[in-house]
Amino acid sequence: MKAVSAIVSLVPFVAIAFLAACRSAPAADTPSATRHELAPLQLIQRIPVPGVSGRIDHFTAYPKRRLLIFAALGNNSLEIVNTFEGKVVQSIKGLNEPQGVVYVPEFDRIFVANAGNGTVNVYDGKTFALRKSIALGEESDTDNLRWDEVSKRVFVGIVGGIAMIDAATEAHVENDLKGSGGHSESFQLEKKGSRIFVNVPDDSSVVNVIDRKTGGLTKWELNGAKANYPMALDEDGHRLFVVTRRPPLLIVLDTDTGKEVARVSVGGSCDDVYFDAERKRIYALGGEGFISVVQQNDPNHYALSANIPTTVGVRTGVFFGTSLYVGVPAAGLEPAQIWNYAVPE
């Protein structure tokens, strides 16, 4: 993204000032690198998010306007940050346990899932005014959101499966896709196929594979690993990346067979994971205080290349372009922040 180069050029004047003013992160632990090699992620920017307390949940991005948008779950607010200006440009308060958020560029709308009352709020992408609140049921526990450009639908993780919203009409589509039971955590949509992969930790920690066309359901086991929350997909490489918390593992599944092909120890309390297709890397955001960077040597072989320090409680963020942005909860006298980790070129 062009903004990254602009941000990097500001480092001497902006990022160093943030580094002096904000809490510091220790040096990276790089298991497979020499001390002279650059870490795979470099902290270059810290953006304060004043007035936000409690847990920071999921993110979305609007790269064209250099905006990050995230659900401040503990603060019951939606925060919109301009990464170029390095500041919050809008704070929408009065939400009810916001968890998932997705920006839909085709309609210039922001969809936010409120777990507290089972609704999805729709906001205008320019004015940030509330357009509509869509009720999915108080017991639905709305969570992660995904946008599907082909069907023009927003998919919503709920208890028992996946709900769908028509982005054009902003209406709940009838006949939710049924899972195996329990709350749907992170999920991924195939772009070239019709399957949805869904983490369901409440159902013996399985991955649900739901066919969007037929509604057919298959369950994939995780061989004893529990608490599978975040997930990423390498559709072209036929690999699904699932991170568990008990024990903390990255588990790699073959999407053709559902069989496990690899597992790597990563940081605990992970809630977001991203696949960097260009560099064949996986970034697992662990709430224990570091980002685990796992290198894909080939589709069947993976190795931990670095643990990049953050701070305790950092477990959600968003990756695009050459930046991994993470949410840092407020601690003591320090305000909540967004930290920008850049991939060295």
Q: Which of 187, 220, 253 is the last residue of a domain?
A: 220
pLDDT in tens, 128-159: 999 999 999 999 999 999 999 999 999 999 99
Counting the structural domains of the chain, the total is 2
CB 328 within 8 A of CB 338: yes
In a domain, 71, yes or no: no
**Across 179-187, average pLDDT:** 97
Who contacts 21 (Cβ-Cβ below 8 Å, separation ≥6)?
A: none
Residue, of 16 and 156, whose pLDDT is higher = 156
210, 282: one domain: no
Task: Specify the pLDDT at position 333.
Answer: 94
Whether 180 is in a domain gets the answer yes
Predicted confidence at residue 30, as pLDDT, reads 57
Q: Structural domain of residue 251, as residue ranges?
A: 1-55+229-345
Do 248 and 188 lie in a common domain?
no
Does a structural domain hold residue 63?
Answer: no
**Would you state the structure tokens that stand for residue 10, as one six-digit string?**
């500001």
155-174 pLDDT, tens digit per residue, is: 999 999 999 999 999 999 98
* Model confidence band, residue 189 (pLDDT cutoffs 50, 70, 90): very high
Say what the pLDDT of residue 138 is: 94
Helices (H), the chain: 2-9, 16-21
DSSP class of 180: E
The verdict on 162 and 245 lying in the same domain is no
pLDDT at residue 313 above 80?
yes
Residue 241 belongs to what H/E stretch? strand 239-246
Contact (CB, 8 A) for 63 and 3: yes
Residue ending a domain, choose from 180, 202, 220: 220
Would residue 137 count as lying in a domain?
yes
Q: Find the angle CA(335)-CA(339)-CA(345) to the nearest 5 degrees.
A: 165
Q: Which of 190, 223, 186 is nearest to 204 (CA)?
A: 223
Final residue belonging to a domain, choices 175, 203, 220: 220
CATH at residue 26 = 2.130.10.10
The pLDDT of 12-18, averaged and rounded, is 37
Q: Are residues 114 and 150 in the same domain?
A: yes
As a 3-state breakdown, the chain gives helix, strand, coil percent values, each rounded to 5, of 5, 55, 40
Structural contact between residues 199 and 186, judged by C-beta atoms closer than 8 angstroms: yes
Please indicate, yes or no, if residue 86 is contained in any of the structural domains: no
Whether 176 and 116 share a structural domain: yes
Q: Give the position of tokens 């929408």.
A: 92
What is the pTM assigned to this prediction? 0.91
